[in-house]
Amino acid sequence: MNLDDFKNIDFQNTGSLPMAVKLVLLTALFLGLLAGGYYIFWLPATETLDAARAKEQDLRRVYTEKSNQAANLVAYKEQMVEIEKTFGALLKQLPNKSEMDGLLTDINQAGLSRDLEFELFKPGNEAQQEFYAELPIKIKVIGEYHNFGAFSTDISKLSRIVTLNDISVTSGSTKGAKGNAKDAKAASGSGLILEATAKTYRYLDSEELAAKRKAEKDKAGAKKAKKTAEKKG
């Protein structure tokens, strides 16, 4: 077999070709069919198999997660019940709008019961949060130091949540003797002055929540409209 045998191949009369040339041609044909079969059939099937195996792993992972969740379902339900009870107990510590006046009276009474004299008791403006409102109260009282501590303890024991913030205790010795009786008591050195901001909280009723959500929705709509107008402009 030589190169001339391949140069003068007559494919219409392959039966007369030398055996060596036939073997080479058959081998080339076999390799071509094998390569074509690999790229046309085998390779796509392999990719499909790999995708199926990856999906199987994902399904196994999801099954394991769901199985674990199902096994712990009773515990999750008990936990949710406990969370709801805890949340309900905390919510009960937040008065509604109609109970706020009574709470303010309780704070004032807690100070009076400890022989504190109120020089200032001024509720401020409410600040609404997600589901509750915060009411700051500026207070200024005159009394003995240990009474301030007892007053703070009484505040912490109220059935409603009340916190004392920005506490400042100063001597009343700088007060002028020409002031009122409270100032005179502080100026005499028999009392100290406590200034603080008491904060209490109440939950928003359904109407307030609905109005709050509507305001937020309108604000978001207005912001979106503004952006759209800016893009068109």
Question: What integer pLDDT is reported at residue 194 of this predicted model?
Answer: 93
Reported confidence tier of residue 27, pLDDT bands at 50, 70, 90: confident
| Other CB atoms within 10 A of residue 229 CB | 9
Question: What integer pLDDT is reported at residue 109 of this predicted model?
Answer: 92
34-61 residue pLDDT tens: 777 777 777 787 888 888 888 888 888 8
75-95 residue pLDDT tens: 777 888 777 776 666 666 677
Which segment, 27-41, 165-179, 190-204, is predicted with the most confidence on average?
A: 190-204
Question: What integer pLDDT is reported at residue 175 of this predicted model?
Answer: 46
Distance CA 3, CA 21 (A): 10
User: Which two structure tokens, joined as six digits, stand for 155?
Assistant: 């505040």
Lowest mean pLDDT across 137-151, 157-171, 177-191, 215-229: 177-191
pLDDT, average across residues 127-135: 82
Question: What integer pLDDT is reported at residue 147 of this predicted model?
Answer: 93
Distance CA 134, CA 142 (A): 26
pLDDT, average across residues 200-212: 79
Reported confidence tier of residue 117, pLDDT bands at 50, 70, 90: very high
Amino acid at 206: S
Look at the block and give the residue holding tokens 């503004």: 226
Question: What integer pLDDT is reported at residue 174 of this predicted model?
Answer: 44
How do strand 132-143 and strand 162-171 relate by DSSP bridges?
Answer: unpaired
Distance CA 41, CA 51 (A): 16
